[in-house]
Every structure is written in C-alpha cells, then in structure tokens.
Structure 1
Amino acid sequence: MIHIDPEAIHPVVDDVWHRTRLARIPEPGQVIAMLCGVTAAATFEPLNQRRAHGAPTECPDCDRIYRQEHNIPQARDRLRQR
C-alpha cells in the first residue's frame, strides 16, 4: 500500500507549482482548482518527466494566499526584517 497525503500534493501547471485544497487524491482527468484560481485536469507522470523542462517555480499568488490563511508573514516582509 502507498500512502499519499493530499495536503502535500503540489500540482504543476505550465512549469509552475501550485497549492490546492484536496480532500482526497484526484482521479486522472478530474479538474482541480488551485488557491490562485487556476484550474487543470489531474494527470500523473513520473518525477523525471515533470522536470524535463527544468525545475518548476512556485506560484506567487498561491504562496500569498497560503501565507495569509496560515498567518505566516509574506516572503517580502520576512526579507525586510533581516
């Protein structure tokens, strides 16, 4: 058996990884919505295929929304405090 935590899934759309609220693992083809509002159909590929185009970058809108929801200072604010 393989255990996958739906909260740890970060979908990659057009080489950008996003945060989402998943209650369960999506079925292939199921459309899921990211925190930033982007939607995409779930597909599953091996990690080496995902990185064929280089390492994905983080969606700044998903990051901002996630930080607001969890009372985590925004990245730009943390950098100013140094």
Structure 2
Amino acid sequence: MSAVIYIDFETIHPVIGGEWHRTRLTGIPEPGQGITMLCGATASAAFLPSSQRRDHGTPTACPRCDAIYRREHGIPQQHTRQGHQ
C-alpha cells in the first residue's frame, strides 16, 4: 500500500537570497534542476526541512513576483488596497 502525499503547487515558494518567490511548477523539480520564478530570476532547486526556513532570517516576498501573481489572479496590488493609498 502507498502513502499518498498531496502537493499544492500554489504554496511552494522558493527562497533566493532571503526573498521568497512564486513560480509555475507542474511537478516537483529534481534537486539541482533549474527553475524560473515569475519575476524572471532563475535558480537550482534545493530542498531543506521547513523548520530551517528562518535559520538565516525571515524571508520577505519578492515584490515583482507578488505583483505578477496578483495581476494574474485579479487581486488588488498592495499599494491600491483600501488603507494603502
């Protein structure tokens, strides 16, 4: 019998240099495989336990990936949301 592990690709946020990004994954990349972020940044896939995510500080969102993701999903941009004008 198999233990099925379901992966939500929308929740995978690769971290490059302290910034988390968004990407369009259709499968789990192999370690070392190149991946391209929405903002155009590229990096090789590497995997660590989520417990180590903040070992080098708290990652921040890539503003370009965030803007692209919001535009594609009809979510208002940060600066146009109520209270942020």
TM over 0.5: yes
Secondary structure (helix, strand or coil) at the match of 2:55 reads: helix
Aligned to 1:50: 53
Aligned to 1:16: 19
Give % identity: 62
CA distance in 2, matches of 1:27, 1:5: 17
Following superposition of structure 1 onto structure 2, how do residues 1-82 of structure 1 map, counting pairs within 5 Å? 1=3, 2-78=5-81, 79-80=84-85
TM-score, normalising length: structure 1: 0.90
Provide the aligned length of Structure 1 versus Structure 2.
80
Q: Higher helix proportion, which one?
A: 1
The amino acid that maps onto 1:14 is G
Runs of 4+ in 1 over 4 A off after TM superposition: none
Tell me the alpha carbon deviations over residues 33-57 of structure 1, each in whole angstroms, 9 at most, x when there is no partner.
0000000000001123231111100
User: Which range moved further: 41-50 or 8-17?
Assistant: 41-50
The amino acid that maps onto 1:61 is R
Report the alpha carbon displacement of residue 58 of structure 1 after superposing the two structures with TM: 0.2
CA distance in 2, matches of 1:63, 1:43: 22
TM-score, normalising length: structure 2: 0.87
Structure 2 residue runs of 5 or longer lacking an equivalent are: none
